[in-house]
Structure 1
Amino acid sequence: MGRILITTDYLVPGDDVDRLLRRHGHEPVYSPYTGAREPAERKTLFNGIDGAILASESVSADMLAEAHGLKVLARSGVGYDSIDVPAAAALGIRVCNAPGTNHHSVAELTVGLIIMAARRLADVTNAVRRGQWPRDAGHELHRSTLGIVGYGPSGRATARLGLALGMTVMVHTSHPDAEDTPVRFADLDTVIAGADYLSLHTRADKTSQKLIDAPRLQRMKPSAVLINTARGSLVDEDALADALRAGTIAGAALDVLENEPLPKDSPLRHLDNLIITSHLAGQTAEARTRAGMAAAHAVIDVLANREPGHPVDR
């Protein structure tokens, strides 16, 4: 019935997604996204394609203008800021994502990064490999303050883990929940100023570009740590590098960057008080299975003229 392009690198021939698509009469076509594509490849990526299951690579209006016959783009993840949604909508191409599939994975890595920063585990393990035996004191999370910006599924899951660890949880969101009594809701600047660990879980859009900039970094405690497992565009990386070098804040842990992989000339390289992981917060086996299947069902629904479960274009 349709040719389905799959760029998500962990989806492979013969897996559950492949079998599901084939059961519905579709032909999966694989072109894994492992880094920036050449312009000529980007221009023709959707040639002869009816639907696509996408990794986090960008999809521009120019690419979509060449996508004759394309009916649906489905992200195997939550974020969709990499896709020009208005351009797709103007061409009648549906855009979907897969919310609620990886929030536990994101929350667990977020807390893992917080613990790494609090106990300086990256420094310790590297020192032990060099034959040293460091015994520096870290910090307990108990009775510290976890600030969360954005209260969707991953923000909520992170809050619950923070509460379980005995942390005070402050949240900034446009949709506070009055019944969520263990959590204190506050404006953004109050959360930024009060947090010992400031964790970003908000979506990326025009209003949140470089949400954490130099002035907001100045408002954080000198002992605070910034954690970003949401989107790289939320943080002004030049300002963050300056703040880390100057001791404006104590540290940061980033799973997402404005440009991935980390460029060789990035100002974030060679900072001892910075942890960087490779955009893997949602990359557990369980989350991958859920996200891949959710994206596949969206493609199947659109090509069968049914309304998909999680459209982001309307």
Structure 2
Amino acid sequence: MPTVAVTGDHFHYREQEYFGLLTKAGYEVRFIDPVKNNLNKPDVLLEQLAGCDAVMCSTEPYPAAFLDNCSVRVLSRLGVGFDSIDLEAATRNNIVVCRTPGILHESAAEQTLAFLFAISRNVIERDRQVREGHWKRTCWPRLAGQTLGLLGLGLIGRCVAEKALALGMKVIAYDPVAAPHDQIELVTLDRLWSDSDIVSLHAPCTPETANIINHVTLQRMKQGVVLINTSRGGLVDEAALAAALQSGQVLAAGLDVFHDEPPKPDNPLLKLDNVILAPHMAGMDLESERAMATMSAENIMALHSGQWPAANIVNPEVQATWKW
């Protein structure tokens, strides 16, 4: 039976449902320690995944240097983003790339709101002030009535929009393929930048969207705009954002994702008090963690049994030539 590697250490629990599904079916499950092993290096990744037939993969990169030389037949992503995988190289090597859609949108939306509330109510600084004996009662604007601009109106973006509308916010969005929504105005990118009090990113990182938040676009935004990114670190030019946060062009930012993960110690964003950070956890709560792992394992099991879970496969063109 196949050997399945699991790279995300937060899934390294034999008590989880996915582990039981795989082992009862006869699969060998191999936990790969991402802390002990630097999986960002293709040679290390190749060594650690030697002999593995499938990977329940996290956010570590899968470049062509790995995909051209590995024995893996399936990359089953725990999540919906797959920009860390060289899709062209995977397809060229007849490797199926799967993901787990329809699971993490509630969690990602809640994390977006957590950033919004933490920033708008200045939660962290107020807590720190009280602990230090300072009783400073400075008011900030309420969220109700502010304009939330969404870059991307897929499942996560719409979930964020519904929650923001319930708070009394106005919601606008840019998404060239989104269906109309009665309460959300679809706008141009220029209007998204100029009209939003808060910009929240919910788009994949593609050649078109990479570093879409940069010196130019930040200057097109309102003075004192708030930026939230629970999508992909590659959407943001981090040096440009740090400069805008220091100048006051951007009032504050909530960041769950970064170019390098974890971010390097010299990343200027780590040194700014008007940034709230999280370790790429927006799509993860207890419910989504279990469901993602189960679906990821089910993708692998379906493919091994000759089924084709089309809704979860991102490179369907390999079907004609793919085999286990």
Length-normalised TM-score, structure 1:
0.96
User: Taking every aligned residue pair, what percent have the same amino acid on both sides?
Assistant: 34
* Amino acid of the structure 1 residue aligned with 2:314: V
**Cα shift at 1:39:** 5.5
Name 1:6's counterpart in structure 2.
6
Q: How many Å apart are 1:278 and its aligned residue? A: 1.4
Instruction: Check the 8 A contact 1:71/1:302 in 2, yes or no.
Output: no
> 22-31 or 76-85, which moves further after superposition?
22-31
**Which of 74, 77, 100 is the equivalent residue of 1:75?**
77
Q: Please say which of residues 186-195 and 25-34 is displaced more in the overlay.
A: 25-34
Task: Work out the CA distance in 1 between the residues paired with 2:264 and 2:8.
Answer: 22
Alignment of 1:129-148 (within 5 A): 129-148=131-150
Determine if contact 1:2/1:50 at 8 Å carries over to the other structure. yes
CA-to-partner distance for each residue in 1:288-314, whole Å, 9 max, x for gaps? 011111111111111122112400113
What does residue 197 of structure 1 align with?
198
2:48 to 45, 49, 56: 45
Name the residue aligned to 1:92: 94
- 2:322 alignment partner in structure 1: none
Instruction: Write out per-residue CA displacement over residues 143-183 of structure 1, whole angstroms, 9 at most, x where no aligned residue.
Output: 110100001111010000000000000010012323x1111
Q: Which amino acid aligns with 2:308?
A: E
Shift of 1:258: 0.7
Mapped pair 1:228 → 2:229: yes
Q: Deviations over 1:78-108 (max 9, x none)?
A: 1110011111111111000111111000001
Q: Give the Cα–Cα distance (whole angstroms) in 1 for the partners of residues 196 and 38 of structure 2.
A: 36
Question: Alignment length, in residue pairs?
Answer: 312
Is the partner of 2:126 in helix, strand or coil? helix
CA contact (8 A) 2:193 2:217 kept: yes
Tell whether the 8 Å contact from 1:46 to 1:66 is kept in structure 2 after alignment: no
Tell me if 1:112 matches 2:114.
yes
Q: 1:194 to 1:311 in 2, by over 3 A?
A: same
Q: Does 1:26 align with 2:27?
A: yes
* Paired position in structure 2 for 1:299: 300
Native 8 Å contact 2:233 2:257 kept in 1: yes
Q: Is the 8 A contact 1:77 1:99 kept in 2?
A: yes
Which of 48, 51, 65 in structure 1 is aligned with 2:68? Answer: 65
Deviation at 1:195, TM superposition (A): 0.7
Counterpart Cα distance in 1 of 2:251 and 2:32:
41
Deviations 1:181-233 (CA, angstroms, capped at 9, x unpaired): 11111011101111111000001111111011111100111121000000000
**Superposed displacement of residue 2, structure 1:** 0.7
Superposition deviation, residue 275 in structure 1: 1.2
Give matches, 1:118-197, under 5 Å.
118-178=120-180, 180-197=181-198
Aligned ranges for residues 204-215 of structure 1 at < 5 Å? 204-215=205-216
Aligned to 1:310: 312
SS in 2 for 1:67: coil
Aligned partner letter, 2:78? S
Return the letter of the residue paired with 1:158: V
In the aligned structure 1, how far is the partner of 2:42 from the partner of 2:220? 42
User: Tell me, what secondary structure is at the counterpart of 2:254?
Assistant: strand
SS at the partner of 2:291? helix
Q: Structure 1: which 5+ residue stretches go unaligned?
A: none
Contact 1:9–1:55 under 8 Å retained in 2? no
1:66/1:13 CA distance change after superposition, 3 Å? farther
Specify the code of the residue in structure 2 equivalent to 1:311.
I
Aligned partners of 2:16 and 2:290 also within 8 Å: no
| Cα distance in 1 between the residues matched to 2:153 and 2:159 | 9
SS of the aligned residue for 1:281 comes to: coil
Counterpart CA distance in 1 for 2:258 and 2:22 is: 32
1:236-275 equivalent positions in 2, closer than 5 A: 236-275=237-276
Secondary structure (helix, strand or coil) at the match of 1:250 reads: strand
